[in-house]
Chain A
């Protein structure tokens, strides 16, 4: 499968624990986005990268969230001290460098905080 890959697909964690998700974009794509989706809602922008540079982080994102893309390829999203409100589907998408190109989504990581 040469599409966007996310791991793990599902994660159940206890409140207060840290979790880390990984996204592997399509190989030639230099833009990478992270979104959060809750039931019945559209994808909510979290942050995005152009190559290894993190260009913007949503103001809705608390300091418990951090993302990296160290070599401009795969990316990780870490949530520290998880809360029940963090339960959601975390989606990654990638696209070529120009702004007006299709963003391809991964299958997402479903996080459940108990």
Chain B
């Protein structure tokens, strides 16, 4: 089945710096890759997603890139702010067993220091 690995597990940056989180997936049939942000004690919320027919997508300070050949995708946050501090999860829509389901990475705890 689909397996998603996420790195790094923790990331500490200074306010204004960029942050990059990387994920790899195993199922070459996966075609949907969302990123979720989870603040302490809250539910995961979608911040950006990308489909397999696109190589890059940007929304203000966040962007996601997808390399289907290498089976990896990355989240880029520019001009980080303290409110970006949270746990970020990548996910891939895998197709193992004939059905598609979202499989998540283990998460990256991002800390943005003023």
* A residues adjacent to B (C-beta < 8 A): 33, 35, 40-45, 48, 55-56, 91, 93, 99-100, 102-108
Contact = CB atoms under 8 A, between A and B. Distances in A.
Contact of B93 (A91, A100, A105): A100
A35 B38 CA distance: 15
Contacts of B73: none
Closest 8 CB pairs of A and B: A42-B104, A100-B32, A105-B43, A99-B100, A55-B99, A43-B104, A42-B106, A42-B107
B46 A100 contact: no
A24 B3 CA distance: 28
Interface of B: 4, 6, 31-32, 34, 36, 42-46, 49, 51, 89, 91, 93, 97, 99-107
Contact of B43 (A33, A41, A44, A91): A91
15 contacts: A42-B6, A42-B105, A42-B107, A44-B104, A45-B101, A45-B104, A91-B43, A100-B49, A100-B51, A103-B46, A103-B102, A104-B46, A105-B43, A105-B44, A108-B43
Contact of B101 (A48, A105, A108): A48
A106 B45 CA distance: 10
A99 B27 CA distance: 15
A103 B104 contact: no
Among A43, A45, A106, max chain B CB count under 10 A is at: A43
Given A42-B104, A42-B107, A45-B103, A102 B43 contact: no
| Central interface residue in B4, B31, B43, B103, by most chain A CB within 10 Å | B43
A81 to B, nearest CB: 27
Contacts of B6: 42
Nearest to B4: A42
